Amino acid sequence: MDAYNILISHGINPSMQRIAIMEYLLNHRTHPSADDVYTNLSKTMPTLSKTTVYNTLKLLSEKGAALMLTIDENKVNFDGDTSPHTHFLCKTCGRIYDLPMAGSVKEVMAMDADGHLITEVHQYYRGICKNCLVTKK
């Protein structure tokens, strides 16, 4: 699905800036921060503001069109892939990797636990990626 249709399907008005930000998330599977998105898009969109990027990424995550990742305690990252998967943060290089996840873990999202309604589940892994392990040897 393209950026425009993803925005429409999540009830988001598809402005030029929102489409560009969603396209960036879809085309750059690097789990960028808001600053990364702004730095890269402002090269071709000089009128784009940091506030617009931050507000759009917040809206995308609130509406379920993107994931907000808090795996790194120093910054927030975003993922345009909302399919069931989890994330791995390399503590050496800082890169975030996608990892497959059993579908049963995501099923607790709709579960009612002791009167509490769970609306999100975050499962993250941290360690040293295979690339950093090779360079340490």
Please give the pLDDT value at position 18.
97
User: What top-level class would CATH report for the domain 1-81?
Assistant: mainly alpha
pTM summary value = 0.85
Please give the pLDDT value at position 21.
98
Domain coordinates in residue numbering, the chain: 1-81, 83-137
Contact predicate 75/33, CB 8 Å? yes
The average pLDDT across 100-107 equals 64
DSSP secondary structure string for all residues of 58-79: HHHHHHTSSEEE--STT--EEE
Same fold, 1-81 and 83-137: no
Q: Is the model's pLDDT at 28 over the cut of 70?
A: yes
Q: Is the model's pLDDT at 111 over the cut of 70?
A: no
Please check whether the domain covering 83-137 is classified as CATH 3.40.50.300: no
Task: Tell how strand 116-117 and strand 96-100 pair up.
Answer: unpaired
